[in-house]
Amino acid sequence: MSRSFIRITYLTLLIMGALCTAARAQSLQDFIDAEKENNCKSIPYSTQKGNCSSYQSDVDKWCAEKRSCQPFNVEAITKNIEGITGKLKSLQEDKSKAANDEDKRKIQQSIDELTKTLEDLKKKVIDDKYDMKKLLDNGEHCRDYRGKVQLEFIEATRKADSESDPAIKPVAQRLIVKWKNGMADHINEFQKASNDVEYCKKQLNY
């Protein structure tokens, strides 16, 4: 028997073993144990429970970060910049028509003051946008991972609803009720994260 044949046979057995493990039907005890738990641990299906737990760790990480752009209002500052720019143009025209040096001096003083204000506002917009991009990134991660957690519960619900074993079915149905009762909180938090993202995008003009 060749070494090549042995290696192929060994790899085939490993793959078949992995597939058999992945396809293992959940036992009644899996459901009983799951019913005692909350959140991701209440899922009796190993794949969905593992995915859910992994995504929940990401939720805990990203949703704990600051992600609200509410303290910023770049939209209003931008309109202010446009107004000042228009006023400066008007002052430049007034200066060119001034009758004497004193009037020109006063107008120039106003121009200098407004120019300084304009530069400060433009810098603030740049700084605010830099900060908001980080907040947007946090918000998108928070929203997306919350969505992924929800999808695992949806898949777990689909599987539980298709259980036909008479011993498992009543436990599975109780778990479905439990998950649905907790879904409102998931949806509420997901919506909050989505709102944060949309506000940031609006301020960033994305």
Its domain, for residue 49, covers 27-204
Q: Kindly indicate the confidence band of residue 205, based on its pLDDT and cuts at 50, 70 and 90.
A: confident
Return mean pLDDT, the chain: 88
Does residue 61 have a pLDDT over 80? yes
Letter string b/e over residues 17-55, b meaning 16 or more CB atoms within 10 A of that residue's CB: eeeeeeeeebeeebbeebeeeeebebbbbeebbebbeeb
Distance CA(67)–CA(193), nearest Å, equals 8
* Cβ neighbours of residue 51 closer than 8 Å, sequence gap 6 or more: 148, 152
Flag whether 4 is in a domain: no
The whole-model pTM stands at 0.75
Flag whether 199 is in a domain: yes
Does residue 24 have a pLDDT over 60? no
Does residue 19 have a pLDDT over 90? no
pLDDT digits (tens, 9 = 90+) for 71-112: 898 989 999 999 999 999 999 999 999 889 999 999 999 999
Residue 164 has a pLDDT of 94
Tokens of 53: 């737990």
Please report which helix (H) or strand (E) contains residue 32, including its range: helix 28-35
State percent of the chain over pLDDT 90: 80
Distance CA(151)–CA(7), nearest Å, equals 39
Q: Residue 43: left if φ>0, alpha if ψ -120 to 50, beta else—which one?
A: beta
Distance CA(56)–CA(61), nearest Å, equals 9
Flag whether 176 is in a domain: yes
Flag whether 44 is in a domain: yes
Task: With beta carbons less than 8 A apart as the criterion, state whether 135 and 193 touch.
Answer: no
Residue 78 has a pLDDT of 92
Q: Is 152 exposed, middle or buried (0-12, 13-18, 19+ CB in 10 A)?
A: buried
Side chain identity, residue 127: D
Residue 26 has a pLDDT of 84
Residue 25 has a pLDDT of 57
Tokens of 61: 């990480």
Total number of domains constituting the chain: 1
Please report which helix (H) or strand (E) contains residue 80, including its range: helix 74-97
Residue 21 has a pLDDT of 39
Flag whether 22 is in a domain: no
Residue 23 has a pLDDT of 40
Flag whether 8 is in a domain: no
Tokens of 176: 């479905």
Flag whether 14 is in a domain: no
Does residue 8 have a pLDDT over 80? no
State percent of the chain over pLDDT 70: 88
Residue 32 has a pLDDT of 96
pLDDT digits (tens, 9 = 90+) for 140-198: 999 999 999 999 999 999 999 999 999 999 999 999 999 999 998 999 999 999 999 99
Flag whether 1 is in a domain: no
Taking CA 56 as the corner, what is the angle to CA 142 and CA 183, rounded to the nearest 5 degrees?
A: 85
Tokens of 206: 């994305």
